[in-house]
Chains A and B, each alone.
Chain A
Amino acid sequence: MSDVDYRGIIRDGLWSNNVVFSQLLGLCPLMAVTTTATNGLGMGLATTAVLVLSNVLVSSGRSLIVPEVRIPVFILLIATLVTLVDMVMNAWLHELHKVLGLFIPLIVVNCSVLGRAESFASRQPVRAALVDGLMMGIGFTLALVLLGACREILGSATLFSGAPLLLGDHFSFLEMKLISDYKGVLVMMLPPGGFLVLGFLLAGKQLLDLRQKKAATAQFHCAVETTGR
C-alpha cells in the first residue's frame, strides 16, 4: 500500500474511468443542470468539493467504520458535507444557488460520490483518496462543462452565459454570443437534447479510445491490454 499509482489515479479520474463518460453515473444532475456551461461548472465544482471531502473523511475513518453499517455511515457523512456545501453556496453564491437550487441537495444521491467512497476511499490511504476524489471531481466537472457548452451552443448560440454569477464580475468576458440572430434549437435545452448530446459525446470517446488502442496494437505488433477491462 505504500506505493500508490498516482498517475493511474489521475488517468482514471480524468479519462479512462471518467464518472460520466465511462461509469455513466450521476446522470440525473447531468441532464438537469447542463443547459449552460456555467451551470455545469457550478454543479461540477460543488460535486468536486463533496467528493474530495467525503473521500478524505471516509479514508481517514476507514478503520473505525464497521463493514456491516458502512453504507449508512457513508451516506451520513456525505449528507453532512452536501448540507454544508449547500449552505455555503447559498451564502456566497446566492444567484447561482437560485439557478442550481434543487440539484445541490441531490448531490447526496449522486452515485459517483457513494461509489468512490465504497470502492476506493474505504480501502486506500488518505492521500490517495484525496487525489482520487479531486481527479474524479475534475473529470466530472470537465464532462459537465463540455456537455453544457455543447447544449448551450446548439440551443441558444451562447457560451458561459451567466458566468459572472458564478465567478464574479472579473469573468464577464467569458460570456459570449456566437451567432447574433439564432433561433435556438429548444429541444437541446430540454432533457432529450441532453441525452442526444451525451450519446454523441460517448460515441466520440469510444472512437478516440478505439483509435488509440489500434495505434498501440500496431506499434507493438501484439495485443496490448491498455484500457480494456
Chain B
Amino acid sequence: MFGVLAALLPATLYGFYLFGWPAINLFCVTVLACLLGEALGLWMNGRPLREYLGDGSALLTGWLLALSLPPWAPWWIGLIGGLFAIIVGKQIFGGLGQNVFNPAMLARIALLVSFPVEMTLWLEPHYLFSAHAPGFMDGLAITFSGLTEPDSISGASILGHIKTELSRDHTLGQALEGFYSPFSAGMGSMPGSLGETSALLLTAGGAWLLKKRYITWHIPLSMLATVVLLAGVFYLVDSDHYASPMVHLVSGGLILGAFFIATDPVTSPTTKEGQILFGAGCGLLVYVIRTWGGYPEGVAFAVVLMNSLTPVIDHYLRPRVYGRSRSGQPLPIKRPRNEKS
C-alpha cells in the first residue's frame, strides 16, 4: 500500500501545485472521510482499529478518490464520497479483500450520478503562489463555503471539449485548434481532475511500481494498448470525428486508471491471462464510453464494469493447481519413492 502511495506522490504534489489550496483542502477532507468510514466499519464489526487502519488501504482509497475529483469541489463532495467509498464500497462486503468493486471508483460514479454539476466543474490551472491563485484563507472559503465564480475560472477538460464540439458539428481539427498541445497535456498543465492531469508523472509512478514489482505489466499494458489500437484504427478511418491515440492517452484518467486503479489486486483477476483480458476489457469500455457514450470520460465506469466480470474471468481462467494438469487431472508421478504405500 505504502509503495503505491509513494508512487502517487509526485502526481499528487503536482496536482496541488496546479490547483492550489482548495485542492489540498479537498484532498484532506476526502482522506479523513475515508479513515472515518473505515474506523466506523471496523468498530461495528468488532475488529481492532489500529492494525486495520494502519494497513493504509483506506488511506489509498481516499487518496485515489481525491485524485479523481474536480479540484475545487466543495467539502461535502469529499465527505460523502469518502464515506460512500469505504462504507458501501468496502466495509459492507466485509472489509479489505472482500469488496467486489473498486471502492474509490464506485464512490466517484455515485458522486458523478448524484451531483453532475459539482462533479464536472473543471478549471484552468491556478498555480500555487502565483498571482491569481487563491491564498490559504480564500482556499478554505472555496472548499468550505463554496465561494466560487465558476464562469470566470472554469475551463473544459479535453474530452469534454471534444464531445461538446463534435455535437456542434465541428471537426476535431477545429475543436482542438489552440486548445490542445501534446506537450502541455502530457505534462499535465490543463483542466482536469485533481491528480489525473499529468500523464508524465503518473507514468513515472507506474513505471516505478512495475520496477518494484508492486504490479505486473499485464493490466496496464493491455488496457493502454487496447485504447491506443482502437483509437488508432478509428483515427485512420476518420480523423475528423475520432481523436488521435495521443489525445486519448494523455487526457482524462486513463493513465491513472491503468496503473493505479485497474491493478487493484482485490478486484482484478488472479491469473496473467485473466489480467490481460481484464485490461483489454477496460480499455475497450473506456474507448467505447468516451467515443459513443453519454459521458465524456469512462475510466471509472469501465473499471467498475470489468470488476463485476472478475469472478467470471477467474472462474474460466483458473491457475493450474500444483501437482495437477490444466484439466484438473493428477500429474503422473515421475519418480516414486515409496512403492509399498
Contacts and interface: CB of A to CB of B under 8 A. Distances in A.
A192 B112 CA distance: 14
A183 B88 CA distance: 21
A185 interface: yes
Contacts of B88: 196
A192 B115 CA distance: 15
A190 B109 CA distance: 13
Contacts of A199: 92
A196 B116 CA distance: 20
A84 interface: no
Interface class of chain A by DSSP: helix
A188 B88 CA distance: 13
A192 B80 CA distance: 16
Nearest to B111: A187
A186 interface: yes
Interface residues of B, number: 9
B110 to A, nearest CB: 5
Contacts of B110: 187, 192
B37 to A, nearest CB: 14
B114 interface: yes
Interface string B260-290: 0000000000000000000000000000000
Interface in A160-209: 183-188, 190, 192, 196, 199
Interface string B103-131: 00000001001111010000000000000
Interface string B227-241: 000000000000000
B113 A183 contact: no
Contacts of B113: 186-187, 190, 192
B299 to A, nearest CB: 19
A69 B37 CA distance: 54
B296 to A, nearest CB: 18
B252 to A, nearest CB: 22
B99 to A, nearest CB: 15
A199 B115 CA distance: 22
A221 B232 CA distance: 73
Nearest to A190: B113
Nearest to B115: A183
A199 B114 CA distance: 19
Interface of B: 80, 88, 92, 110, 113-116, 118
Interface of A: 183-188, 190, 192, 196, 199
19 contacts: A183-B115, A183-B118, A184-B114, A185-B80, A185-B114, A185-B115, A186-B113, A186-B114, A186-B115, A186-B116, A187-B110, A187-B113, A187-B114, A188-B114, A190-B113, A192-B110, A192-B113, A196-B88, A199-B92
Per CB-CB distance, the 6 closest pairs between chain A and chain B, nearest first, are: A187-B114, A186-B114, A185-B114, A187-B113, A187-B110, A186-B113
